[in-house]
């Protein structure tokens, strides 16, 4: 029971730091931090929330993408799929 609380606490702290990073850091630094946190926790879906938050704050429709505004969110989805496949193929995570 105590380990669940510690995991919940660490996950909450990392989420808060990721949102603060989304406010003050550049998009590629937030993406790198999200990728690192993806390997720390079992499933880190907060990568979508951070990308959506940054798209809503700073995103603007780009004509080269057909006036699609959520480019970073789409990129986060691609990174999530790639990292999930990579995580399943890693030796460390297949032992669980």
The pTM for the full model equals: 0.78
How distant, in Å, are the alpha carbons of 5, 41, 84 from that of 12? 10, 12, 21
Q: Which tokens hold the place of 14?
A: 């990392």
Closest by alpha carbon to 79, among 42, 38, 22?
38
pLDDT of residue 82: 93
Taking only the tens place, the pLDDT of each residue in 2-33 is 778 888 898 999 999 999 999 999 988 998 99
Taking only the tens place, the pLDDT of each residue in 41-94 is 888 888 988 999 998 988 888 777 788 888 888 989 999 999 988 888 876 654
What is the tally of structural domains in the chain? 1
* Alpha-carbon span 21 to 90, nearest angstrom: 28
Helix, strand, or coil (residue 68): strand
């Amino acid at each position: 029971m105590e380990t669940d609380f510690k995991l919940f606490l660490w996950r909450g702290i990392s989420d808060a730091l990721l949102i603060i990073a989304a406010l003050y850091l550049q998009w590629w630094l937030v993406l790198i931090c999200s990728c690192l946190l993806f390997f720390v926790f079992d499933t880190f879906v907060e990568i979508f929330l951070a990308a959506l938050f940054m798209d809503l704050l700073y995103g603007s429709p780009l004509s080269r993408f057909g006036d699609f505004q959520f480019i970073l969110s789409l990129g986060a989805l691609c990174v999530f799929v790639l990292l999930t496949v990579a995580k399943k193929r890693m030796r460390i995570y297949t032992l669980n």
